[in-house]
């Protein structure tokens, strides 16, 4: 029985058992999505059969599935060469399903662990149940000490987040970022989602011991350098079992001098499935990092009145705007659509542009409330030295947004003032957020 005899290619239009004439390769990794690449020598059959038809949104038909070794892979890339060859790239179905989810989500670190937030994202998937391996799911991780120990600074709440409003991030990308921030691994092998530290992986038994004398081992190469953060090694061998040592497994190198010992498998490559040749890319483990320290900020040293003098060279207009932000923050008001557009000091609350308008009015920088479109034309382009208005205008009031950053100490430690957005439950000072997609504006001379 050949490697292709168990392959089944399915779509809405066509079902085909794959046989000879194909070239194929596979890759499994802790750094990205596991993939299988089929290269069809003549794509006309596939094209005429409708297998590569797009859906109504003119993207690849997500219903196209390759089943191999009882694992479903979804079609994610296809192209046709001048010679008529059609490479088809499939990735593990779990990864493709996780890429489909990108709505804004967040959870406070006070209410659960980073791993629990990751699991909550997996549980959004309804198309199939995602199997997972998260050994330290409920274990609270140590939190790094804040760099700034000034007692006058106050700590913000820390949130785990997927994307930002207006700045989407899919679950697959998000879980990878969440893992990398604390030196964990996020990967999928044969439909099983893993979120784990190198330390935990290294505690497992050795899956494979390799030496030059071992039958089937063609080559061992390694690079161990005191000047490099991570040592690496590569083992080329022959095995009828593709995942003889999958990513995350422990491989021991024997009789290799400086490189002898236990290593983690980071990647497995089988360039041709018709061959039994495998390449194992190994790496030494890295220590997990603690949870990042929460952001801190400096409250206003005092409330500034109309006649208040400037502090640290901060213009009086900016001091007034900051004092208004501080006063509104103290109210704990929720986001209110339309708030601030009829009354700069709106007792009901504010929407994003109404809040920004109120701050600018307090600083004597605005006479009439502006919506996000108007804020794109307020002031001058670029960031201010002490205060910046950030605007994202889409033409849709429900998808546009604006907020303000203050840097009163002129030390790069910005404070974010916002209504709605990432912390939609309250209006005032928020934890730092991404400014990607936003246009900066500032008052001239500030």
Residue pLDDT, tens place only, 230-273: 688 999 999 988 889 999 999 999 999 989 999 999 999 998 88
**Bridge partners, 270 (sequence order):** 26
Residue 113, CB-side half-sphere exposure with 13 Å CA sphere: 16
Over range 296-310, report the average pLDDT: 40
Q: Which residue has the tokens 């989810």?
A: 101
Backbone torsions φ then ψ of 26, nearest 5 degrees: -145, 155
CA angle (402 as vertex; 399, 408 as ends), nearest 5: 160
- Is 80 exceeded by the pLDDT of residue 19? no
pLDDT of residue 316: 86
E strands, 19-85, in order: 23-29, 35-40, 65-68, 71-78
pLDDT of residue 274: 77
- The rounded distance, in Å, linking the Cα atoms of 58 and 65 is 18
- Is 50 exceeded by the pLDDT of residue 431? yes
Top pLDDT among 189 and 446 is at: 189
Q: Which tokens in the block code for residue 70?
A: 């009882």
Backbone torsions φ then ψ of 436, nearest 5 degrees: -60, 130
Per-residue pLDDT tens for 41-91?
665 555 555 555 544 433 445 567 888 888 999 888 876 666 667 778 889
pTM passes above 0.95: no
CA angle (161 as vertex; 156, 162 as ends), nearest 5: 160
Over range 314-322, report the average pLDDT: 89
Among 147-156, 163-172, 291-300, 377-386, the range of highest mean pLDDT = 377-386
Question: Which contacts qualify for 47-52: CB closer than 8 Å, 24 or more apart?
Answer: 47/86, 49/13, 49/14, 49/16, 50/11, 50/12, 50/13, 50/14, 51/9, 51/11, 51/13, 51/14, 51/16, 52/78, 52/86
pLDDT of residue 311: 47
């Amino acid at each position: 029985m050949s490697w292709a005899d168990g392959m089944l290619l399915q779509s809405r239009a066509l079902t085909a058992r794959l046989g000879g004439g194909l070239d194929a390769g596979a890759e499994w990794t802790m750094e990205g999505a596991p993939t299988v690449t089929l290269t069809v020598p003549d794509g006309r059959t596939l094209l005429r059969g409708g297998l590569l038809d797009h859906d109504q949104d003119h993207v690849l038909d997500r219903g196209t599935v390759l089943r191999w070794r009882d694992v479903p892979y979804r079609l994610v890339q296809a192209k046709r060469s001048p010679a008529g060859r059609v490479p088809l790239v499939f990735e593990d179905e779990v990864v493709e399903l996780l890429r489909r989810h990108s709505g804004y989500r967040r959870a406070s670190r006070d209410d659960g662990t980073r791993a629990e937030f990751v699991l909550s994202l997996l549980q959004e998937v309804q198309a199939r149940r995602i199997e997972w391996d998260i050994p330290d799911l409920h274990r609270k991780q140590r939190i790094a000490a804040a760099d700034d120990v000034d007692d006058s600074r106050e700590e913000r709440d820390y949130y785990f987040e997927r994307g930002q409003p207006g700045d989407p991030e899919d679950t697959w990308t998000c879980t990878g970022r969440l893992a990398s921030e604390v030196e964990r691994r996020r990967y999928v092998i044969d439909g099983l989602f893993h979120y784990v530290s190198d330390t935990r992986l290294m505690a497992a038994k050795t899956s494979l011991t390799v030496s030059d004398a071992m039958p089937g081992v063609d080559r061992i190469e390694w690079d161990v350098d005191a000047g490099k953060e991570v040592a690496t090694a590569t083992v080329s061998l022959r095995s009828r079992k593709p995942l003889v040592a999958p990513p995350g497994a422990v491989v021991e190198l024997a009789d290799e001098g400086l490189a002898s010992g236990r290593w983690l498998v980071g990647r497995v490559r089988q360039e041709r499935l018709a061959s039994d040749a495998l390449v194992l890319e190994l790496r030494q483990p890295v220590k997990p990092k603690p949870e990042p320290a929460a952001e801190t900020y400096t409250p206003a040293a005092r409330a500034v009145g109309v006649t208040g003098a400037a502090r640290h060279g901060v213009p009086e207009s900016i001091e007034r705007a900051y004092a208004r932000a501080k006063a509104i923050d103290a109210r704990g008001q929720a986001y209110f659509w339309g708030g601030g557009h009829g009354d700069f000091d709106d007792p009901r609350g504010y929407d994003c542009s109404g809040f920004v308008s109120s701050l600018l009015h307090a600083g004597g920088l605005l006479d009439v409330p502006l919506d996000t479109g108007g804020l794109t034309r307020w002031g001058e382009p670029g960031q201010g030295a002490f205060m910046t208005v950030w605007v994202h205008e889409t033409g849709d009031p429900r998808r546009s947004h604006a907020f303000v950053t203050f840097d009163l100490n002129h030390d790069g430690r910005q404070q974010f003032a916002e209504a709605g957005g990432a912390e939609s439950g309250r209006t005032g000072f928020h934890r730092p957020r991404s400014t990607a997609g936003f246009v900066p504006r500032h008052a001239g001379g500030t």
